[in-house]
Amino acid sequence: METNTLEVKLEVCAGLDVHAKTVVACVLTGSLDSLRAKKEIRTFGTRTFELRLLGEWLTEKKVEKVLMESTGQYWCPIWNVLEEFDLPLALANPQRIKGIPGRKTDQKDSEWIARLGRMGLVASSYIPSREIQELRSLTRTRKSYINERTQHRNRVQNVLQHANIKLADFITDIFNGSGRNCLELLLTGEKATEERVGQVISKRCKHSPTDIAESMNGALSKNQRILLESHLRSLERIDEEMHVLNEAIEEITSKYAEIMEALQTIPGVKKRAAEIILAEVGPNVEQFSSAKQLASWAGLCPGSYESGGARKSAHITSGNKYLKTILYQCGGSAGRSNNTLFSEFYNRISKRGSKKKAIIACAHKILRIVYKILSEQPNRVNKKILTRCSEHLVRNN
């Protein structure tokens, strides 16, 4: 009977247990023929000069691989400093490491990570280049501002509703143009007369100044006016911050103009979606062996669940939530667009399942096209190639 035994893949491997103030490093050194290894453990601080001392020590030990956990954001500065020493770095998912039992101390953690890395049992996480990491931080921060803006807008609606002000029933967008002017009028405490409202709204408004003025004559108390002003000023601040972020994002994405242009030729993918895709996936897909692996990383492929010889249905897996969210939005837009390739595919899936499954299927197709685009040389990507690629992917489901 054949038995599966663990094989040593590396002679010298280091494991780092990362914390806010300290890094515990364990270096294991041994031959490939034996599981036994010489162990050396040191503790370093997380200030820059201390991390450089760590880098010098690892270089001196001729480490073949440095493995660390993705503990919050604590690993980022350590990674950035150790990159200067050209060390072979790898980031591990802590859930996969902690899934294998072991005694819990900082020294044991670093040793356990080193042992797993020496046996080749830990897969490295995808870490993009420094520039793409910065782009990713910018787009994710913008996303948080968008969510915060939505919260403030909902709170404004709640204040108006409690005050029995029905402005949103007569002006579609109360946060821009005529609607914003009406809100500023409410903040002044001035009575919303037909004449005064007529001065602040656009002549293109569908409803008359009389109707709008009547909708604004609610009972707005002093405290409600304070809340309304607070939320509106917060919205102004968020808009200013987003403007700065958009300029910084534009500065980075302009270096990848051909890729951005190619991504926006995909049905359902607009400029903002292309920016997020570039930030999350990167300008190439060398780190992914196939489109299936990219879909698995994004969380857009179904999980595998089989028991007793019977294969059961499974939901899509967890993955990159930022990429999955934007692709889901793009999939919905593409499925309901005039593009026959996606609309026919969407209708076919929705008839035999649900609309949500159809959107996810469209998002999966978009991601496969993204993989094709990024795997091609930028100067070879054009609309003709993209059209043939789209037709092949959609029709050969």
Q: Is residue 361 part of a domain?
A: yes
CB 96 within 8 A of CB 42: no
CATH of the domain at 215: 1.10.287.4070
Q: Is residue 202 part of a domain?
A: yes
Residues 205, 260 within the same domain = no
CB 335 within 8 A of CB 342: yes
The pair of structure tokens assigned to 386 is 């993209």
Residue 255 is given by DSSP the state G
Q: Is residue 140 part of a domain?
A: yes
Domain that holds residue 108: 12-118
Among 239, 254, 269, the domain boundary falls at 254
Residues 210, 266 within the same domain = no
The total number of structural domains in the chain stands at 3
Residue type, 377: Q
Q: Report pLDDT for 110.
A: 85
Q: For residue 341, how far is the Cα from the chain centroid?
A: 27
Helix or strand or coil: residue 41?
strand
Residues 262, 238 within the same domain = no
Q: Report pLDDT for 109.
A: 82
Residues 272, 390 within the same domain = yes
Residues 51, 155 within the same domain = no
Residue type, 216: M
What Cα–Cα distance (Å) separates residue 3 from each residue in 6, 108, 184, 234? 10, 28, 77, 65
Q: Report pLDDT for 1.
A: 36
Q: Is residue 248 part of a domain?
A: yes
Q: Is residue 4 part of a domain?
A: no
CB 165 within 8 A of CB 218: yes
C-alpha 126/C-alpha 85 separation (Å) is: 19
Q: What is the pLDDT along the chain (397 residues), one digit of tens a residue?
A: 344 456 888 999 999 999 999 999 999 999 888 888 899 999 999 999 999 999 999 999 999 999 998 877 889 999 999 999 999 999 988 776 765 554 556 678 888 888 888 888 877 788 888 999 999 999 999 999 999 999 999 999 999 999 999 999 999 899 999 999 999 999 988 888 888 988 888 888 888 989 999 999 888 899 999 999 999 999 999 999 999 999 999 999 999 999 999 999 999 999 999 999 999 999 999 889 899 999 989 988 876 555 555 555 567 778 899 999 999 999 999 999 998 889 999 999 998 878 998 999 999 999 999 999 998 854 454 555 555 555 555 555 4
Residues 56, 143 within the same domain = no
Residues 58, 156 within the same domain = no
Q: Is residue 388 part of a domain?
A: yes
Residues 238, 259 within the same domain = no
The DSSP bridge partners found for residue 29 are 12, 38
Residues 143, 226 within the same domain = yes
Among 118, 150, 171, the domain boundary falls at 118
Which of 225, 230, 181 is closest to 202 using CA atoms? Answer: 181
What Cα–Cα distance (Å) separates residue 45 from each residue in 63, 91, 229? 20, 19, 46
Helices 271-281 and 355-375 cross at an angle (nearest 10°) of: 70
**Cα–Cα–Cα angle for 198, 240, 171, rounded to 5 degrees:** 25
CB 17 within 8 A of CB 69: yes
Residue 68 is given by DSSP the state E
Q: Is residue 125 part of a domain?
A: no
CB 74 within 8 A of CB 80: no
Residues 74, 107 within the same domain = yes
Q: For residue 181, how far is the Cα from the chain centroid?
A: 35
Q: Is residue 193 part of a domain?
A: yes
What Cα–Cα distance (Å) separates residue 301 from each residue in 107, 273, 314, 365, 367? 38, 20, 10, 11, 11
C-alpha 338/C-alpha 344 separation (Å) is: 10
Model-level pTM?
Answer: 0.81
CATH of the domain at 67: 3.30.420.10
Q: Report pLDDT for 4.
A: 47
Residues 194, 244 within the same domain = yes
CB 132 within 8 A of CB 214: no
Residues 190, 277 within the same domain = no
Q: Report pLDDT for 396.
A: 54
C-alpha 341/C-alpha 189 separation (Å) is: 55
C-alpha 190/C-alpha 184 separation (Å) is: 10
C-alpha 363/C-alpha 273 separation (Å) is: 12
The pair of structure tokens assigned to 102 is 């072991």
